[in-house]
Amino acid sequence: MNIHEYQAKELLQKFDVATTRGRVAATLDEAEQIARELGDIDIVVKAQIHAGGRGKGKFNNGFKGGVHVRKTPDEVRDVAAKMLGQILVTHQTGPAGRLVNKVLVAESADIAREIYFAVLLDRATAAPLIVASTEGGVEIEAVAAKSPEKIIREPIEPLAGLQPYQARKLAKQLGFESSQVKNAPKLFEGLYRTFIAYDCSMVEVNPLVITKKSEVLALDAKFNFDDNALYRHPEIAAMRDRAEEDPREVEASKHGLNYIGLDGNIACLVNGAGLAMATMDIIKFYGGEPANFLDVGGGATEEQVTEAFKILIADKKVKAILVNIFGGIMKCDVIAQGIIDAAKTVKLSVPLVVRLEGTNVERGKQLLKESGLALIAADDLGFEPAWRDRSPQLVDVIRSDRFRIVSEHQRAREIQTLGRATCDLVEIVLFLQQRVRRDVFEREPVFA
């Protein structure tokens, strides 16, 4: 889950991370009023959307830039009028852009230097990592591509946390002067504590600025939360802005489905994240593009399957649907009934390919047959015989001790690679899942 900049700054302030004074406004009157309260100073007006690159963005009405500095409450009102209710397009929003419903009106910082600073979860080491650069304010991806030596990486041992010597080292590497080397570590520690306290997967401050008066401030902030930990933070869950999210994903989350919208046109409905990844990989392998990731899980009800199916059918981009179910805990007849119920309420206008295997498969196939639905039954997904020969060897490799899984991300990659080369997909996916579960307990220390 993401939040807006103004919300991120509220969280940072709780951990003594210095930001600028200001508040969010949804109307022109509010924007003007906040500007008056801030007093006779330079004021910055910033469009609030869940995407970066606002500074260099462009509104559909032709107005350039989602970040502007003004001097008087009247001027603040004028610039807010050009932003509120308008679509802002940035390099992160895609051409469709995002509707601006709110603007942040804040004290403008007198910037001397802009720095990039982020705490994120490094999937490769399964530990927090600080990424920083003296080249702040600009796109960090561009810095990484052009001058990788300017990216500083400081891994954090999760049990020990950010050590004072690490904070001092970072301050030096980032070129803080000796007078600032005192304040900077306090700010770094505040950012790290925020990251841990809210179960973030990323806290990114770009830019972190040094002002002409040598203050160190977080001028922009982007947070990413681990959705699986949201139940521990009701105050964060309350910050959710559904208007910023993919409507397909909003609908799916209402029904407890693991759904991620993608840009392709082949919808897939699968049970189990590993099998879902492998299915998407098969689609890509054969030159298709998946329209979504959808894991209906092991314990989905008929209603959930029906809702899942409705989301797939309602998606205008979808040109075909592939259902790939391996019935373990999930029963094939439940899936079949869900599909039939969905097809009753929403007209099925695209080809539907269904592959069912496992528990209650005969009953499931029977139900589909009797329903009279025009669907294509598939018994295998086109694995080539040549792959079968390589398969046993692969199974040996993953069973050997050389094969370790240190992160979800890596697991996904392994499964993709394996998915390409093996026919015994389901067995491997299940084996990997088991292996990952065990790995949680057997993992070697990261910094051993």
Q: Which of 38, 105, 219, 336 binds ligand GDP (CB under 6 A)?
A: 219
3 state DSSP class of 127: strand
3 state DSSP class of 91: coil
CB of 105 to ligand GDP, least distance (A): 11
CB of 46 to Mn ion, least distance (A): 10
Cα–Cα distances (Å) from 261 to 194, 247, 337, 437, in that order, read 29, 9, 24, 27
220 binds Mn ion (CB under 5 A): yes
In the annotation, is 198 catalytic? no
44 binds ligand GDP (CB under 6 A): yes
CB of 110 to ligand GDP, least distance (A): 7
Q: Are 170 and 118 in contact (CB under 8 A)?
A: no
* Per-position DSSP letters for 372-410, written without gaps between them: T---EE-S-----HHHHHHHHHHHHHHHSTT-----HHH
Residues sharing a CB contact under 8 Å with residue 217, sequence separation 6 or more, in sequence order:
18, 19, 20, 109, 208, 209, 211
358 binds ligand GDP (CB under 6 A): no
90 binds Mn ion (CB under 5 A): no
320 binds ligand GDP (CB under 6 A): no
220 binds ligand GDP (CB under 6 A): yes
11 binds ligand GDP (CB under 6 A): no
CA angle (313 as vertex; 311, 318 as ends), nearest 5: 105
Q: Choosing among ligand GDP, Mn ion, none, which partner's interface includes residue 67 (Cβ < 5 to 8 Å by kind)?
A: ligand GDP
52 binds ligand GDP (CB under 6 A): yes
139, exposed or middle or buried, with CB in 10 Å at 0-12, 13-18, 19+? middle
244 binds ligand GDP (CB under 6 A): no
Residues 388-417 that bind ligand GDP (CB under 6 A): none
333 binds ligand GDP (CB under 6 A): no
69 binds ligand GDP (CB under 6 A): yes
Cα–Cα distances (Å) from 421 to 34, 179, 281, 285, 356, in that order, read 61, 58, 11, 11, 21
Give the whole-angstrom CA distance, residue 245 versus residue 262: 13
32 binds Mn ion (CB under 5 A): no
CB of 68 to ligand GDP, least distance (A): 9
Q: Which stretch binds ligand GDP (CB under 6 A): 104-112, 181-189, 191-199, 436-444?
A: 104-112
Q: Which stretch binds Mn ion (CB under 5 A): 156-164, 217-225, 277-285, 303-311?
A: 217-225
Pairing of strands 103-107, 22-25: antiparallel
Catalytic residue among 6, 32, 114, 116: 116
CB of 56 to Mn ion, least distance (A): 10
CB of 108 to ligand GDP, least distance (A): 4
3 state DSSP class of 445: coil
Query: Pick from 337, 329, 325: which is nearest to 367 by CA?
Result: 337
Pull the structure tokens for residue 273: 């994240």
CB of 51 to ligand GDP, least distance (A): 7
Q: Which stretch binds Mn ion (CB under 5 A): 158-166, 182-190, 218-226, 233-241?
A: 218-226
Give the whole-angstrom CA distance, residue 133 versus residue 118: 9
Give the whole-angstrom CA distance, residue 368 versus residue 355: 11
Residues sharing a CB contact under 8 Å with residue 75, sequence separation 6 or more, in sequence order:
none
206 binds Mn ion (CB under 5 A): yes
In the annotation, is 204 catalytic? yes
Interacting residues toward ligand GDP by CB under 6 A? 44, 46, 52-55, 67, 69, 108-109, 111, 114, 137, 206-207, 219-220
The residues assigned a catalytic role are 116, 204
Which residues are near Mn ion by CB under 5 A?
206, 220
